[in-house]
Amino acid sequence: MIAQLRIDDRLIHGQVALVWTKELDTPGIVVANDNAASNEMVQMTLKMATPTGKKLLIRSVDEAIKVFNNPKGKGMRMFALTNNVADALKIAQNVDDIDGINVANVGRFADNSEGETHQVGSTLMLSDSELAALKELVKLDTPVFQQVVPSNQKASIASMLKNK
Amino acid sequence: MNKILIASHGHLASGIQSSLDILTGLGKEVSVIDAYVDDRDYTKDIKTFVEDLHGKTGVIFTDLLGGSVNQKVMLEVAQQKNIFVITGTNLAIVLSVALSTDSVTKESLQELIAASQVQLVEVSHDDTNLSDDSFLE
């Protein structure tokens, strides 16, 4: 089961590796990202960022969905990461067992080829298509919130999206 | 959380506090002394930290062994068995202590310090990727 699906354009980094894996008590981290799944340098940096004692799996989004739906993983608390909203939406639409979706950091490293971005809160800079994906995401049954670090309060994404 | 004071020459201490805050949101939970950026006698701030502990465990991080900041700290805590002083401070060790849920001991600090060393990072060709099955085991 996915203890948390986190959208974070930095994938595994300090906030995630040190703080969240401890907070969520997740022995397994799954990076669901097509680029990472095919890029050895990115895989190297992700392995470097993985805390000692945690298992890391790097898969394309489609392959990751198969892992999340594998009956063998039912009892395993997994921390799932994507670096964009569209990938997270695809996972959420195809996986039932997700406790919560944390829209943490989005858009800082995006190429902005779609033009102007929509600022939602202080850490989300969304293109038109990412904003549309986020609006779809909050329609699902799974709780969708923002909590960059555990000491922050959870903020509802639905209320952050009002008037957007 | 363990009570923490970070003391440095210049803005390293508040800089580490800023990094800690971005990574964990715990920046406000630590005390800092940026020594020599103004005329302030910062030994008062060390004393205040020590007094506020009321005998409970605390950790003071300093920047350089033998530096004046470290010397002033040592003079203030010489009689205090409840305070640990760590020098050669880096972000990794401050994070480890700040995130440690148990009250630190000499032994636990030595373990955290051993895992927080500066190191040379080289490109490694570790191509050991887990299979789905071994991940889900």
Quick check: B72 pLDDT over 70?
yes
- Contacts for B4 with CB less than 8 Å, ≥ 6 apart: B29, B30, B31, B58, B59, B60, B61, B94, B97, B98
For A116-155, how does the pLDDT look when each residue is reduced to its tens digit (9 = 90+)? 889 998 899 999 999 999 999 999 999 999 999 888 899 9
Quick check: B128 pLDDT over 80?
no
- A160 pLDDT tier (thresholds 50, 70, 90): very high
Residue B36 inside a domain? The answer is: yes
Residue B131 inside a domain? The answer is: no
**Bridge partners, A58 (sequence order):** A31
Chain B residues within an 8 Å CB radius of A38: none
φ, ψ of residue B14 to 5 degrees: the values are -70, -25
Q: Do A72 and B136 touch (CB under 8 A)?
A: yes
For B74-124, how does the pLDDT look when each residue is reduced to its tens digit (9 = 90+)? 999 988 899 999 999 999 999 999 999 889 999 999 999 999 999 998 887
Contacts 24+ apart (CB under 8 A), A132-135: A133/A85, A133/A86, A133/A88, A133/A89, A134/A85, A134/A89, A134/A103, A134/A161, A135/A161, A135/A164
Quick check: B125 pLDDT over 80?
no
- A15 pLDDT tier (thresholds 50, 70, 90): confident
Neighbours of B86 (CB within 10 A): 21
CATH code of B50's domain: 3.40.50.510
Q: Do B24 and A40 touch (CB under 8 A)?
A: no
Q: With beta carbons less than 8 A apart as the criterion, state whether A119 and A25 touch.
A: no
Residue B77 inside a domain? The answer is: yes
3-state secondary structure of B55: coil
For A20-54, how does the pLDDT look when each residue is reduced to its tens digit (9 = 90+)? 988 899 999 999 999 999 999 899 999 989 988 89
Residue B134 inside a domain? The answer is: no
- pLDDT value of position B101: 87
A150 touching B (Cβ < 8 Å): yes
Domain count for chain B: 1
Chain A residues within an 8 Å CB radius of B129: 43, 58
Tokens 């969905």 label which residue?
A: A65
Residue B136 inside a domain? The answer is: no
Residue B130 inside a domain? The answer is: no
CA nearest neighbour of A90 among A5, A155, A3: A5
Mean pLDDT (whole number) for B41-65: 96
Residues 7-36 of A with CB under 8 A from B: 14-15, 18-19, 22, 28, 30
- pLDDT value of position B79: 86
Quick check: A110 pLDDT over 80?
no
Q: Do B99 and A19 touch (CB under 8 A)?
A: yes
CA nearest neighbour of A4 among A151, A154, A109, A158: A154
A154 touching B (Cβ < 8 Å): no
Which of A18, A66, A70 has the CB atom closest to B99's CB atom? A18
| Structure tokens given for A23 | 């907070």
The CATH superfamily assigned to A2-158 is Phosphotransferase system, sorbose subfamily IIB component (3.40.35.10)
Q: Do B136 and A47 touch (CB under 8 A)?
A: no
- pLDDT value of position B33: 98
ipTM: 0.80
- pLDDT value of position A138: 96
In terms of pLDDT, which residue wins out, B49 or B101? B49
In terms of pLDDT, which residue wins out, A15 or B40? B40
Select from B23, B127, B130 the residue whose CB has the most chain A CBs within 10 Å, as the one to mutate to test that interface. B23
Q: Do B124 and A44 touch (CB under 8 A)?
A: yes
Residue B125 inside a domain? The answer is: no
- Contacts for A70 with CB less than 8 Å, ≥ 6 apart: B132, B136
Domain hosting B88: range is 3-118
- A112 pLDDT tier (thresholds 50, 70, 90): low
Which of B22, B25, B135 has the CB atom closest to A55's CB atom? B135
- pLDDT value of position B129: 83
| DSSP H or E stretch at residue B69 | helix B68-77
CA nearest neighbour of A142 among A98, A103, A77: A98
C-alpha A9/C-alpha B23 separation (Å) is 15
Residue B92 inside a domain? The answer is: yes
